[in-house]
Each structure stands twice: as structure tokens, then as C-alpha cells.
Structure 1
Amino acid sequence: MLRKILAGLAALAVPLIAVAASPAEAALPPGKITFFAGQTTPDLTAYKQQVLDRDAAFPRPGGVTLYTNISPNSCNGLTVTCNLNGNVFNFNQTLAEYPGAAVAVGLYLADNPGCVNQPLRAILNRNDADIAGALGQQYRQNLDNLLTYFKNTGRQVYLRVGYEFDGPWNCYNTDFYKQAFRVVKQRITTLGATNIKTVWQSASYAKDGDPQYKFDFSNPNHLADWYPGDDVVDYVGLSTFYWDATYRQYQWACDTPTSTPTVLYDRVLNFARAHSKPAMIAESTPQAYRTANLDASCVTVNNRVSLGGDWTKVGSWYDQYFAYINRNTDVLRAVSYINSNWEAISQFSCPPGATAGSPNCTDGYWGNSRIQDNAAILANFKRELQNSIFVNGTLTGRGANWGGGTPTNPPTTPPTTPPTTPPTTPPASGRDAFATIEAESRNAQSGTTVTAGRLSSLNNGDWARYDGLAFGGRTPNQVVFRYSSARPTTQAFTLEFRAGSATGPVIAAPGLLGTGSVTAYKEIAFNVSNVPAGTTSITVVARANDSADILDLDWFRFS
């Protein structure tokens, strides 16, 4: 996630190079997933020397990840080394070190500081005063130079156009971004660069930015607002830095997220399915953990705490990561892992006690994600990549043991869409509390009705009970739910989650606001406490200070 570091990058005069292509790089194979390693040239050199060169049996990555841009008057790292705040890129060097590998390219199009979208407007050839004449023409020429360079590499290139388009840190204007994406695709076509595929990558971030600018991840229709069109998007991408079972324990312990990670990730993959597009996890890393030191921190404040020498507490992140990949092989065709010691990069330095956004901690705390810095993580990572779902993998199933017991193999054919209709007769036992519970699948109720697949028109004191929710040996941190309300967006009410009956102990009581319409949904994640272990009943109760309709409830689940 190179947020602001590439603001000064620009295209140089580009001597074109030709590298022999491999038949394996023609496309991401159907039913297989290509593993990409990233994300700077030194990171990739170290990965080659310290992992691949030392172990001939370690699966070779099918691709590498690097970054560039088209802004004038600075370097772009294509043919000579470019160092921006400690982030070093040299495409020629990396391509030589990884012959035949595909390339996933993060094309930075923001212009922090300022957020005036100059690169996007220049691509659109607008007649704005700040880009009129030579400057605007230089942007457009740099774009063509960049595309021609990638065309002449002979590699399969996955161009992440304005990656993490919805990240508030990028300040992209929605309309400018969509229009510029279309122009980039048009230039690829005009230049005959058939080896370049476009990737439309969401930040899939756990906290909303300003909804006025559509940085509203909790909005279920968020992605549609940013989509430039089926005719110009080849791959749908996402970033995955956090996982449900652990993100509140360390990474988000000192902040309040507005969405649960897997809710966001599932939304992106389901969007890809709905548009018949393959998907790519374009960025992934266990942010705020350190594999060498075995400690962890919050992402917005460097408050590192020791993990007591227990590598499996970091391993849990990887276990969830690979489990998610295995569950979504129907749509995922590539995953890119950032194997970086972030603390060695000045851009990401953040001393103990520093807070994100301060001069000495501009991008928050990142830690060290290098797998070679911990022997147990390295061995398990190797076994995961040996899984035959990956290109270059030859073994059956996951096989790795991240400390939670021997994993079970996933179904060979995962469902292409999540279930949308509950059983006719809700089961009285054995429902996974961590899976989506459709609100209409209640076992008992008072005052509720079902309308269009949701529990509707709950009034003060109305309740619905859900029996047989199995928590097993896991302790949930949050309850996640989707609701709507015709009440004004300034009017508050409460939705209680109780253990057992409608008068049982309260485990969560989020205060909510109206959404203005029963068709305007919001997803909320709220902390829970004192959830009974094993299998239990959970009852939801609506509370307000009047007798009018309060809310409709679509679904909930624990995480």
C-alpha cells in the first residue's frame, strides 16, 4: 500500500527493452492462482537470494509487483533506480532477476499533497489552467511511454490503474477516476499492448473516509459508484491487510473501524462474480506484526506489545489469509504478498509512541512482514504455496500447520455466490455463529414480520430469537449486521443483542441512526462481550423512545 510515496514519480525517456516471453505468462490459468511477490526492487532481490536461491524446492512466484507513475519532473524506476523516501524501484533489474515472471504494476495517479487530481485531469486532456499546454501534454506522453515500455517487455502485465482508488489517502475524484481509467484502457488498445490487462483495485479498507467523496466502505453500494465499466476492466482487485479473528486484538485495538474485513473482501469478490471478472488480491501483508521480533501493534499508533515468543500469533494471520484464498478459488486468479521489512524504509518509519499522520509516522505503523525472518512462518508459507491451487504447486491441499491443529482441506468447488435464502424451517442447533445469519431465519419472535427477505418494521420491544448458534472454542470480538431505517439520519435508537432470551444478558447494544429509507442499508461492526461459549441462543431486541417503526434487519454474524 504505497499511499503517498509516489507523488513525485514521473516518466523518463524510456529506452525500450525486449525480454523473451514464456508460454506460461500468456494468461492467469483458469482454475489456478498465480502467486506474486512484492513490492520494491530490494524486497524482491532479498526474496530471491534469501528464499528462492537457498531452497530449490520453494515454489517460484509466477509474478512480481512494482510501482510507477506518469508525473513529470521526477523518476519512474523503469530503466534506472529510483529512490523515493526509501522505496526503491528498478524494473529492468527486477525483470532480469525474475525471468519470465508476470508483472503487477501499481500505477499511482494521485497528487498528494493538494488532492486536486491533476494527473487524472491531464489524462482526460481537460483545458484547465494548471495543465494547459506542455504540462498536460507531458502527462499524456508519459502515459504512452509507460505503456509502450510494458508492451515491449514481452511480459504479461497487470496494470493497477490508480490502485486503491477508494482509499481516502489518494483523494481521487470519482468521476475523474472513472473517466481516466477508460482513457488508459483506450491508450492500451490504440498502442496494441495486448499483453497489458487492467486491474480495478479497491482499498477494501476497514474505516470510512468522507462519504461526500464516496470513501464510504460501509455503504453496500460503494463499489458501483467507482466502477468504470465492464468494457475497460479486465480484473477486479482488492487489498487484504486484516482478518476477522484477530484484527481487533492488535491492528485495530486503538481505533474504531466501520466495517469488518471479510465483509469488505466478500463484497469485492461478489462484485467480480456479478460482472464475470476474475479477481486479484493485489496487496496483502500482516500489517503491524513483526515476523522477526514476534510482536504486534495497532496500525495507527506504534504501541508494540510482545507476543511472548509465540510465532503462531502471527501465524494466525497467515492461516486466515490462505483459508480465504482456498475458499474463493472460483474467482481468484492471483494473489500478491508484500514481503517487506517496512521499518527499513524511511517512508514507513514510525518510532514507538508515534501516531499516524505525525511528521515521524506519516503512514502509520507497518512492522516487518518478511517470511524469511522466521523459520516456522517460512516453512508453513512454503507448504501453502505447494498447494496445487497455485501455479507451480504440486501437492494436495493446504497441509501447513499454523498452530491451530491440522487444517482440513477446503471443498474442491466453492459456491460461486453466498446463500441468500434461509432454510424453510430454521434449525434449532448447529448454526455457525461466524457465518451469515439471515434475520428472517428466526426460531421465535414477538412483533416482527418478514418483507422481501428481511426482518421488517421492528418497533420498540420487538424481538427475534435465533437458536443453536455455535461458537465452538472461539470468542467473538464483534457482531456485524446490516440494517436500514426510514428514520432520519439524525434520529438515534438501539439494537440489543442478548444471550438467551429477550431478557437475557446484553452482549452488545449499538446505538444506531436512521438511514432515511428502508432501502438505504448500512453495515455496522460493534464490539461484543461476555458471549457464552459453545452453542447458545441469541436474541435481538429493538429499542426506541416511541412507538413508530424503528428498523429492518437484513442479517448478522459474529467475528
Structure 2
Amino acid sequence: MKHYLIALLSCSLLSACSTTVSESLQRVSDPDIPTNIRLFVGQDLGSVGGLEEYNQGYVDYFGVPAGVTIYTSLESLEGLTSKVNYGAGDSHADLYLTSSSFDDVDIAMGLNLVNQLDKVNSGQLDQNLAALSDWIKRSNRKVYLRIGYEYEGAWNGYEPEAYKQAYRHIVSTLEKAQTSNVEYVWQSSGYEEDRDNLLRYYPGDGYVDWMSYSYFNHDPKEAGKETLQLAREKNKPVMIAEVTPRGADLLLDDGEELWKTWFVPFLAHIKDNQDSIKIVAYINALWDEQPMWEGQGWGDSRLQANLYLATKWRRTLKREGWEVKTTVAPPPIFILPDDYEERKQARNKNQEALIPDEKQSQAEDAIPKGNARIYPDSAAVGGQGIAYIYQEGDGLLFKEVTQSNYLIVRYASERSGTIGLAVNGIRKYDLQFESTGSWVGNYNTIELMVDIPNKSDVEIIWNDGDSALNIDYLVFDRR
């Protein structure tokens, strides 16, 4: 799972610092702000389609979007001039440059900087920046560069000052190289945004053309809330750079129900913020068959795999006037796999098991302590759990539980170890657990005999030496 940590720190001097560094930057060209929303699609060759060897993707069923999304890292620039597959589908951006189908189709490039900030700031990667500049110029189209995307996500490990310095260095270097067809994107994760925390990573007005965030199973009223507000204050357009209904299986799920529960709220989020949102980048992937994401509960977000959703999507694009390059009419028929019925039955059975039971004390209904936060996960009962129990002070408090002598804890964790169980403020038990292989998607249970008096306050608590885990629910039982 992408672990997310909200650091409640402020930077009162940021505005003054931002003004200073912004004024020192000479820009080659001004950013272009679209009139209508532009649709981008990604994020690997198979998901996008429209090429000779990749002909079952979005483009083959819906037409060519206004842009495509790609990913690389500054350290290796993988996937630009040659094909790579790091477990998330084939990537080879040059194929878009040489295919006439993708002429004038723009690119949103996610530039990974994990474990590279020191190298960027010391100038060790300047040669790679020169190569990146050359590639962007050669692309002969607009490239939206998402520098260190999801910058505040704890899974990336970006230290704010080092991140800002690296961001500015990248922009300054590309500008000095006269890279006139690039626009710079500052992208958050979009989860539970804290304004002061976001601003700790802000490189300055002159270095940011677009503000951006991700949208998966976010609360549509809260997603990117502070990013949107900052964008309005600073007169910046907004890109939703990663969009997918995480956990949904568009091949197997009821399309009408999914349209109501995910797509309608998402489209309402866009309409509520249409003054700012100008680009939406949908990820049209069979996540569960990609090794990087397997077992993490991402699902299957291919729009062409569900006739109801495909029809609604086409009508929405036409009605809302989203910018695309071409459309497909009539669309081809999506061929269902031979084992479709068996898979659908198994999916329905699994979904039934995720309906909350009255015996279960759901983690999201308890009181979080420290950094513990609710997170969405379709593999969790009720679709939510509690994550980020990983450092001193983190915990999850259940008030006045029933008398019990048997406890069940449903959890997910990439690690094995122990976590504490406190009864009325005193740590009484060490809960031993084995890794489930991921932070989301795969769950296991801890079961043990306990002695918990009636109306006790019970807390899952992290102390020094414990291991991190995410909690779905607890069952306080008598046997």
C-alpha cells in the first residue's frame, strides 16, 4: 500500500522564499491553459493501445485521447527510447512519437525521484537532465512534467527542503536548455490534505505551471481539497493526474451500480471544481495481472471491459465536451474471457464476504491515535480500514467493548512482527502476525485467547520495537 503520512508542520517563511526564487527564474514560454477539460489516458502501452503490438487498449475501443501518461525516473530515463517492463506493463514512449495515430497527442510524464534527490541537487544527474530535455524537444508536443509526483506521500520519502531544491534545479536546468514545450506539474496524493504540510513542499509560484493530485477511492468532497484551494489562490490550472476506481473489477462488477457509486461522485467532483480542473488522466489498466500491483486490490479499471460503463463513458465525453483527438464509431465488441462465468461467481462470493457483520468492530468506527487514518480498500470489509499504525503514539481505540475471552484481528501488512494490545491503558498482549505480502488487498487474521472485562477500553497500540500493520476489524468474542 502507498503509506501516507501527514506531517503537521508549518512553514511561515515559505511565501517570502517562494517569491524570491520565483523572480530569479527566466521562463522560455508561458503555459497554455485549455478552455475545456482534456482527457489523458495511461499508463502503459497495453492500457492505452492504438499500436500494432498493443491493440486491445483504450484507444482501440474509444479513440485517441488528447494525451497519454508515461513514467520514467531521472536516474535512468527508462522507457523513453527503449522498451522496459518493471512489473506495470510495457513502456516505450518513443512509440507514441513515431506513430501517426498519436501525432499532436500530448504527454503527461511522471518523473520519479525516489532516492535521487541528493544526486539531483549535487548535479550528478545533470547529464540525464540534458538527455531529458533533448527527448522532450524531439517529442514535438506538449509534455506535462510531474516532478516527484505525490511529493508528500510517505512511501516516496521526500524530505521537503531537498525536494524543493531538486524541483527547482530540474526546472531551471530545462529552462536554461530552452525546453519550450514543457510545463511543470506539482502533484500531491490528494488524501487528507493539510495545507501547511503541502506548502512545505512548494517550490515557488514561478516553478509551478499546474497543480495536481491523484483520485482513487477518495472522498469526492475532500479529494485534493487544499490543492484546489491553493490553485485558485495562485491562479494555476489543475490536473487530476491519476484517476482509477481502485478495487473495482469493471469486467466482473455490476456496471450500473459502479457508475452510481464511483463514476457519478467523481464526475460531480469535477463539475464542482470545473473552474480549476482542466486535465483528467484516467488509468485504464488490468492492474491485478501486473506483478507490481498484484495482490494489492487495485482491480481492473478497463472501461472497455464493461458494456454499460463503456456506453455511459462515451455519452459523458460527448455531453461534457471533453477534448479528445478521435472517437471510434461503431466501437468494437469486447470479447469476454472463456472463464468469465466462473470468475464472476467467485467475485460475487468474495464480495458477499465483505459485507460487515454485527460481530465485527470496524476499524474505521474506532478512535484513531497519532498518525492512524482511514484508508479505502475494496478488499476490506465495508471498503475501509485504518492504516499508518507504524510509529510511537499511533493506535486505534475501541471504547467500552463487551466482555470477551477471544479476540480476532483482521489485518494487512508487508511486514511480520508484533503489535501491542492495551486494556484500559495498560499493554496486556503482544499480537504476533505474519506478513500478508502487501498493505492492502490481502488480509489475514490474528486470533488469541484474552481476558477483557466488560466495558473495557481496548487499544491496538504501536510501541518501540513493534511492526507496522493496517487494521480492517476486530471481533470481541466469548467461546
Question: TM-score interval w.r.t. the shorter chain?
Answer: 0.5 to 0.7
- Structure 2 contact 72–78 (Cα < 8 Å) conserved: yes
The offset of 1:87, in angstroms, is: 3.2
1:123 aligned partner: 120
By relative contact order (CA 8 Å, sep 6+), the higher-ranking structure is 2
Question: 104, 108, 111: which one pairs with 1:107?
Answer: 111
TM-aligned CA distance change 1:243 to 1:53, over 3 Å = closer
2:96 aligned partner: 94
What amino acid sits opposite 1:106 in the alignment? G
| In structure 2, distance between residues paired with 1:86 and 1:242 | 20
- Structure 1 contact 385–393 (Cα < 8 Å) conserved: no
1:146 aligned partner: 132
Gaps of 5+ in 2: 4-29, 327-382, 385-392, 395-479
Please tell me the root mean square deviation across aligned C-alpha atoms, in Å. 3.2
Residue by residue over 1:431-464, the C-alpha shift from the partner in whole angstroms, topping out at 9 and shown as x without a partner, is xxxxxxxxxxxxxxxxxxxxxxxxxxxxxxxxxx
TM-aligned CA distance change 1:183 to 1:376, over 3 Å = same
The offset of 1:262, in angstroms, is: 2.8
Equivalent residue of 1:159, what SS?
Answer: strand
Question: 148, 153, 163: which one pairs with 1:177?
Answer: 163
Equivalent residue of 1:337, what SS?
Answer: strand
Q: Does 1:347 align with 2:292?
A: yes
Match runs of 1:215-294 below 5 Å: 217=193, 219-244=194-219, 262-294=221-253
- Structure 2 contact 191–218 (Cα < 8 Å) conserved: no
TM-aligned CA distance change 1:52 to 1:264, over 3 Å = closer
1:338 aligned partner: 283
| In structure 1, distance between residues paired with 2:31 and 2:314 | 24
TM-aligned CA distance change 1:224 to 1:158, over 3 Å = same
The offset of 1:311, in angstroms, is: 3.8
Q: Does 1:387 align with 2:373?
A: no
Q: Does 1:189 align with 2:137?
A: no
Equivalent residue of 1:66, what SS?
Answer: strand
2:297 aligned partner: 365
TM-aligned CA distance change 1:86 to 1:275, over 3 Å = closer
- Structure 1 contact 32–329 (Cα < 8 Å) conserved: no
The offset of 1:83, in angstroms, is: 1.3
| In structure 2, distance between residues paired with 1:53 and 1:273 | 33
Match runs of 1:517-528 below 5 Å: none
The offset of 1:28, in angstroms, is: 5.0
| In structure 1, distance between residues paired with 2:222 and 2:252 | 31
Equivalent residue of 2:110, what SS?
Answer: strand
TM-aligned CA distance change 1:312 to 1:382, over 3 Å = same
More helix by share: 2
- Structure 2 contact 2–155 (Cα < 8 Å) conserved: no
Q: Does 1:84 align with 2:86?
A: yes
The offset of 1:243, in angstroms, is: 4.0
The offset of 1:2, in angstroms, is: 9.5
2:420 aligned partner: none
Identical counterparts, % of pairs = 32
What amino acid sits opposite 1:378 in the alignment? A
| In structure 2, distance between residues paired with 1:323 and 1:173 | 34
Equivalent residue of 2:90, what SS?
Answer: strand
Q: Does 1:203 align with 2:162?
A: no
| In structure 2, distance between residues paired with 1:285 and 1:50 | 18
Equivalent residue of 1:222, what SS?
Answer: helix
Question: 49, 64, 69: which one pairs with 2:68?
Answer: 64
TM-aligned CA distance change 1:272 to 1:53, over 3 Å = closer
| In structure 2, distance between residues paired with 1:159 and 1:54 | 26
| In structure 2, distance between residues paired with 1:190 and 1:279 | 25
- Structure 1 contact 386–393 (Cα < 8 Å) conserved: no
How does the TM-score come out when normalised to structure 2?
A: 0.58
The offset of 1:263, in angstroms, is: 2.1
Equivalent residue of 1:382, what SS?
Answer: helix
Match runs of 1:161-172 below 5 Å: 161-172=147-158
The offset of 1:166, in angstroms, is: 0.7
- Structure 2 contact 96–102 (Cα < 8 Å) conserved: yes
Residue by residue over 1:179-218, the C-alpha shift from the partner in whole angstroms, topping out at 9 and shown as x without a partner, is 1111111011101011000000001125xxxxxxxxxx4x
The offset of 1:290, in angstroms, is: 0.6
1:417 aligned partner: none
- Structure 1 contact 284–337 (Cα < 8 Å) conserved: yes
Would you identify which runs of 4 or more consecutive aligned residues in structure 1 move more than 6 Å? none
TM-aligned CA distance change 1:163 to 1:337, over 3 Å = same
The offset of 1:392, in angstroms, is: 4.3
Question: 314, 318, 325: which one pairs with 2:263?
Answer: 318
How does the TM-score come out when normalised to structure 1?
A: 0.50
- Structure 1 contact 236–272 (Cα < 8 Å) conserved: yes
The offset of 1:313, in angstroms, is: 3.0
| In structure 2, distance between residues paired with 1:163 and 1:372 | 28
Equivalent residue of 1:340, what SS?
Answer: coil
